[in-house]
Chain A
Amino acid sequence: MLMEFQSNNASLPQPRFLLTNLLMKNLLRLMALNFNLRPSLNQYLKSNEGWLNFSASLRTENLSVNTAIVFKDGKASVPGTPPEPCDIALIFRDDKTVRKLLSNTPTEQIFMLMKSELRAKGNMTYVNLLFFLLNLLLKKKTLKLMEKEKQASAKQARELVPQSRPELSQVLEDRKNHRLQGKPTDPGVHFLEDPYLSAFSLQDFPRLGRFLDIHFTQKAEVCPERPKILTDWFKTHGFEKNSQGKDWIPELRQGLAFKHLMENRRPIIRKDDLIAGTTTTKEIGVVVYPDSHGTMLWGELYTVPHRALNPYDISEETVRLLHHDVFPYFAHRNFKEWVRDKYQAPLCQAIDERYAVYFIWKQAALSHTIPDFPKILSMGTTGIIQEIREKLVREGLSAHEQATLEGMILCLEGLTVYSQNLASQAAFEANKESDPQRKAELENLAAICSQVVERPARTLDEAVNAMWITWVGLHMENTNAGLSLGRLDQWLQPYFEADLQNISQGEERGAYIRHAIELIGCFYMRCTDHLPLTPDLANWYFGGSSSDQAITLGGVTPAGEDGVNDMTYIFLKVTEMLAIRDPNINARYNREKNSETYLKRLCEVNLITTATPSLHSDQAVMESLEEFNYAREDLNNWSATGCVEPTLSGRHIGHTNFQMMNMVAALEMALNNGLHPLMNWNLGPETGAVEQGAFKTFDDFFEAFTKQFAFLIDQSVAYNNMLGKAHQAIRPTPLLSSLIEDCITDAADVTHGGARYNSSGAACIGLADVTDSLLVIKKMVYEDKSVSFSDLKNAVADNFQSEPALHALVTKKVPLFGSGSDEAVAMADRVTKFAHDHYGSHTNYRGGKYTVGFWSMSNHVIYGTLSGALPSGKLAGKPFTPGLTPQPIASQNLLDNIRDVARLNPKNMNNNIAFNVKIVPGPNDSHEQVVNNMFSYVKTYFDLGGMQMQLNAVTSDTLKDAMANPENYRNLLVRISGYNAYFVTLNRDMQLELIERAQYGL
């Protein structure tokens, strides 16, 4: 069942008695012995349903090491000849890497995997199980190594900045005290006299201050609730077949399981909160989705509290639950393994599991979308259930369609029960409460949760609580990765206005506005109550990302009128005061409709928070989507999803982050006739050898690049479509489907294309690095003929070490993207057009088109690490630029960068972009002056046609100080490429990349 993609080991002899082989064999024998003889260890070979049986081969590429360990019926053994095939294989590059693994720290082991010194094959759940078993043996040593690694890293940071500089963190604090006042110029602002709400600061909201403190000090904990309740239900009722032995219709199974989950979850009201309900039972909980990527944590269950990056607590009870009960049950019942089993470990999956080329997010989630909140707010679950029932009684529904609709009803019923349970809990707590103010709040919550989500919301408090309860439900169903909130200012304004219609007194109105701010603040803090489950490898692959729950503000109404309203400014006030990474705030700016007052406020909030909101031009985003002929009112209603990507609110499954694609890999493969150098894998088509003069013209080479790129696109699309089928089988999402337009009418789940609009979106990484490399080749090799292609290629392969002059030439003398060169912009457009057209030629498993964007989350760092030197002059291992941001060396004048990015054709970038701009306020610049400058950059960029821009307003000195003295900067927000993160939680490489980037200040 395991397919072999590398054939370089087939004909080699098999040396039996080499030292490393013997060492490995003896180690495995020792491991087997321990597990066989020590009952305390042996118990871990058992799941609640029987023994954990699997075989693992450990070998080198040329079989100089070739051994295996077999776990069967509670016994571990090391057979003389490894069984063929094993369930999993760990394949080392050579003997040296075998020995390296044994002495390396966990982080170094991760890099061995990512750098292809070691590769894993077969069922990844068992790979993680093997690491879990190894860690049981080596726990003490591992923890010691981790501690050592942490200390070394802290020491390194302190060497960077020997003296703490508290004045630098003070500068950021001081920004909060300068606040502009705004004029009420926006037609949609009816009640706020100063829309900037400059009178308010965090000190006015002690409740929010306390929540913020918890957010920054409380360590997250892995929550067993969801996996436990669901696993129990599936074990009783079956997964593939029901208790009568019939095949389950997945939608119905999921509906029943979801209802059971919601009925049995603990209804929790956080101390002091104005919003009832939690996603987990922990103050900050890590949600486990064993049906998607949850089992990735298996290997780390005992080390995760001790790791340096994003550690989570986990109780012994939870470890045992996950190990003995949950993970074994889901070993094959997750998206990735379903694909491996169903499609016999396809090539497209093997590429993904080598890290260097692309990553397909669908193995974790399909959740990048915006549910139809207005629907549940205006109809309640009762109204939606009524709509579904009307559809159900119609004739001609297939069994699958019927089950789909029934699944939706079950989910909505489950959601209703959960809110009723919250109402009872609130009433119960109100009874016990001695503080009269809190008692009244709890009584109010009891009344609210009795009304919503069952019936329509009538007030802002009811609407916000209904949204949160729905949000909790959606996250119990769907992985917390990029599921997004949408246009909350538009959808909540009617409730805000209705409330104020009933208040005539000025003073009471003031108190109400204050309450509205506090309520939205509570909502933001509720959104921080859960974290995605991140294996340590992902800390280096994606670092610092939370669940990226995007909120979108401003823009135009569906009818095309100015959408900025009172609630827009209330959300901005909350964004300014809390300055937290998630929810991820995005602002639409419509050049024709929105005011400068609004745009200036966006800049001010960005300055105070240092990194949020992300700014989008309505015009450019809508232009990029023109090709799909979406209805105008739907297009007007777009929201950012996850990071920056546009989704049409409430009616569009755009899975806008189905993948991260390393475009530079295609370039490296074109330079090497299809071979990927780091993986040493003849992966792509043979497109010609540079050394043999295969490319007569630059266009010949460009074609080779596009052939390699097309090959990678085709593979990634194939994997995505297979994973889509896996979602249909493993986890359709009836609750989400009930909140996406047309799913009810068509009686189809979103995973089956039930949404009105369908698409899948890619993020292509390294546009500036690819464009600049192509420019260097075109200019120097083909036009000026100042270097031969072979010599350039050799210099690249040599990391320019023996060619410093050539390195200087390519970086200094070729007009790069971002320098104001027409040719460079044309080259970037040529690359984006190819990507757009080739992705666009594919149709996904839901019948939608593929879209393409140019942003990078944080993967520009790791993909840079996993790439060699480039013709652009990038050195081996150095990061790419974030998103499509030009290289800092392209121009001394930031305005050249801004102009070039603005000139790119948005029609090739229909999954949006991320363009980072650094703002470095001078010591003598007034707050207003800095805001005005920022306003000018953004406004001009949009006037010139720019699409998206994100501003970081922090100096490199401050970042260095933060790296060395993280305790002074727990809330230092930085925008990576599409999402926000706390600087101090980032891995070292990402911190250094940000520092280096910041040195090229304005």
Chain B
Amino acid sequence: MKDPLILDIKGNSLDDGPGIRSVVFFKGCPLSCLWCHNPESKRRDTEISYDPKDCVHCNTCLETCQEKALSPDHPFFIDREKCALCMACVDACPSGALSRVGKPMAVEEIVREVAKDKPFFNTSGGGVTLSGGEPTLFMDYLGQLVQSFQDQGVHTLLETCGLFGLEDFLGKVYPYLNTIYMDIKLMENSAHKEYCGASNDVILHNFRELNKRYQDGGIEILPRTPLVPGITDTEENIQAIIGFYKECGVKKAQVLPYHPLWQEKNFKIGIRDYRGETRAMQSFLDKNRLQACRDAFMAADIQLV
């Protein structure tokens, strides 16, 4: 597997683990969840993005493009069939409305970038969070990265969808991590296939195994469920997840209420998915529904963090 592309390193994140953290977003994911909040992280390859909010309509790009792939009349501005990803327009764009999505970064480069914020990690109990996309798609690279962070004394947290080869993971990555956040989205396998694009067998298996290690004194693993209206927040799914947690002996979990802010990201990279255009998918999760889900977990003695 070739080295990954990195979407972004976001500093000063307060929502991705304890303390003040830097989040490294990998590009590429084995799942393709309908509601993915970072749709630009699904594909492994470089993409080009157009954000109409930043555009000053100077037309510099139209003159630059050799392939004539850009046009204000095109629904996404960029005709991605024609675009050769030469990035000439990105380089010429003064406002940053056109931008490259994903760039290769050496392990040392990431560590150097993240380590700038180390003084803040130290005073807040923070560190680095590896997210995506799916970092475990690039197991060798990820292994080197987490090892480097451990050498630097940086607390390392992995956010994963759980779909990876366990043995590989245990050998290359696990020993250098401090915490794992793993998504448990849908218990019904056919629904998981429909909405996430793959079976959940491996995911559930991996969770069981890692959770067992946690109970035996290994590193912490926290299961998290995105509450997507009508898909994951249904009574049946929530009860099934609770059942699964009970079976595993999970005491602590997290729920992530759905928000529709990702939708405009789809436009930027030229994607349209009609399933996301329902009213429910274009609104924030209903407060009462959120409370009902929370109540269900708490009734089962599962603490929500």
Which residues of A approach B to under 8 Å, CB–CB?
Answer: 804-809, 812-813, 820, 892-896, 899, 922, 925, 932-933, 935-937, 939-940, 943-944, 1002
A933 to B56, CA, bound (A): 37
Number of A-B residue pairs at CB separation under 8 A: 69
> Do A895 and B124 touch across chains, with their CB atoms under 8 A apart?
no
Knowing A895-B117, A896-B11, the reply to whether A809 touches B20 (Cβ < 8 A) is: no
Interface size of B by CB at 8 A reads 24
A807 to B122, CA, bound (A): 39
Q: Smallest CB–CB gap between A438 and chain B, Å? A: 49
- A808-B96, A809-B95, A936-B124 known; 6 new pairs, CB 8 Å cut-off, are A804-B56, A805-B56, A805-B95, A807-B56, A812-B96, A939-B123
B10 within 8 A of A: yes
B-side contacts of A895, CB under 8 Å: 11-12, 20, 116-117, 120
A-side contacts of B54, CB under 8 Å: 808
Residue in chain A with minimal CB distance to B118: A940
> Do A933 and B58 touch across chains, with their CB atoms under 8 A apart?
no
B171 within 8 A of A: no
> Do A940 and B119 touch across chains, with their CB atoms under 8 A apart?
yes
B-side contacts of A808, CB under 8 Å: 54, 56, 58, 94-96
Interface residues of B in 1-31 (CB under 8 A from A): 10-12, 14-15, 19-20
> Do B94 and A893 touch across chains, with their CB atoms under 8 A apart?
no
Knowing A922-B15, A1002-B12, A1002-B14, the reply to whether A936 touches B120 (Cβ < 8 A) is: yes
B66 within 8 A of A: no
B-side contacts of A894, CB under 8 Å: 11-12
A918 to B60, CA, bound (A): 36
> Do B119 and A809 touch across chains, with their CB atoms under 8 A apart?
no
A-side contacts of B116, CB under 8 Å: 820, 895, 899
B57 within 8 A of A: yes
> Do A805 and B60 touch across chains, with their CB atoms under 8 A apart?
yes
A894 to B56, CA, bound (A): 26
A886 to B12, CA, bound (A): 17
A-side contacts of B124, CB under 8 Å: 932-933, 935-936, 940
A809 to B116, CA, bound (A): 27
> Do A936 and B57 touch across chains, with their CB atoms under 8 A apart?
no
Which residues of B approach A to under 8 Å, CB–CB?
Answer: 10-12, 14-15, 19-20, 54, 56-58, 60, 94-96, 116-117, 119-120, 122-126
B-side contacts of A806, CB under 8 Å: 94
Q: Smallest CB–CB gap between B18 and chain A, Å? A: 9
Most B CB within 10 A of own CB, among A805, A892, A896, A937:
A805
Given A892, A922, A940, A944, which contacts B14 in the complex, CB threshold below 8 Å? Answer: A922
A375 to B277, CA, bound (A): 74
> Do A935 and B123 touch across chains, with their CB atoms under 8 A apart?
yes
> Do B14 and A925 touch across chains, with their CB atoms under 8 A apart?
yes
A423 to B124, CA, bound (A): 53
B-side contacts of A937, CB under 8 Å: 20, 120
A-side contacts of B56, CB under 8 Å: 804-805, 807-808
Q: Smallest CB–CB gap between B19 and chain A, Å? A: 7
8 contacts between A and B (CB under 8 A): A805-B60, A806-B94, A933-B124, A935-B123, A936-B19, A936-B124, A937-B20, A940-B124
Q: Smallest CB–CB gap between B42 and chain A, Å? A: 23
Knowing A804-B56, A805-B58, A805-B60, the reply to whether A893 touches B10 (Cβ < 8 A) is: yes
A-side contacts of B14, CB under 8 Å: 922, 925, 933, 1002
Given A896, A925, A943, A1002, which contacts B123 in the complex, CB threshold below 8 Å? Answer: A943
Residue in chain A with minimal CB distance to B11: A893
Q: Smallest CB–CB gap between B122 and chain A, Å? A: 8
Q: Smallest CB–CB gap between B124 and chain A, Å? A: 3
B-side contacts of A922, CB under 8 Å: 14-15
A-side contacts of B15, CB under 8 Å: 922
Residue in chain B with minimal CB distance to A899: B116
Residue in chain A with minimal CB distance to B58: A805
B-side contacts of A933, CB under 8 Å: 14, 19-20, 124
Residue in chain B with minimal CB distance to A920: B14
A820 to B116, CA, bound (A): 10
A-side contacts of B60, CB under 8 Å: 805
B-side contacts of A807, CB under 8 Å: 56
A186 to B294, CA, bound (A): 41
> Do B11 and A940 touch across chains, with their CB atoms under 8 A apart?
no
Residue in chain A with minimal CB distance to B95: A808
Residue in chain A with minimal CB distance to B20: A936
Residue in chain A with minimal CB distance to B257: A924
Question: Which 9 pairs from chain A and chain B are nearest by CB?
Answer: A936-B124, A808-B95, A805-B58, A893-B11, A809-B94, A804-B56, A808-B94, A936-B123, A939-B123
A944 to B123, CA, bound (A): 12
> Do A812 and B120 touch across chains, with their CB atoms under 8 A apart?
no
A572 to B171, CA, bound (A): 53
> Do A804 and B58 touch across chains, with their CB atoms under 8 A apart?
yes
B-side contacts of A943, CB under 8 Å: 119, 123
B-side contacts of A809, CB under 8 Å: 94-95
Residue in chain B with minimal CB distance to A930: B14
A922 to B10, CA, bound (A): 17
> Do A805 and B19 touch across chains, with their CB atoms under 8 A apart?
no
A935 to B96, CA, bound (A): 34
Q: Smallest CB–CB gap between A318 and chain B, Å? A: 54
Q: Smallest CB–CB gap between A889 and chain B, Å? A: 11
> Do A812 and B94 touch across chains, with their CB atoms under 8 A apart?
yes
A806 to B56, CA, bound (A): 10
Residue in chain B with minimal CB distance to A942: B123
A809 to B123, CA, bound (A): 36
A910 to B95, CA, bound (A): 38
Q: Smallest CB–CB gap between B112 and chain A, Å? A: 12
> Do B123 and A940 touch across chains, with their CB atoms under 8 A apart?
yes
Residue in chain A with minimal CB distance to B96: A812
Most A CB within 10 A of own CB, among B11, B57, B95, B123:
B123
A933 to B119, CA, bound (A): 13
Residue in chain B with minimal CB distance to A891: B11
Q: Smallest CB–CB gap between A30 and chain B, Å? A: 53
A-side contacts of B117, CB under 8 Å: 895
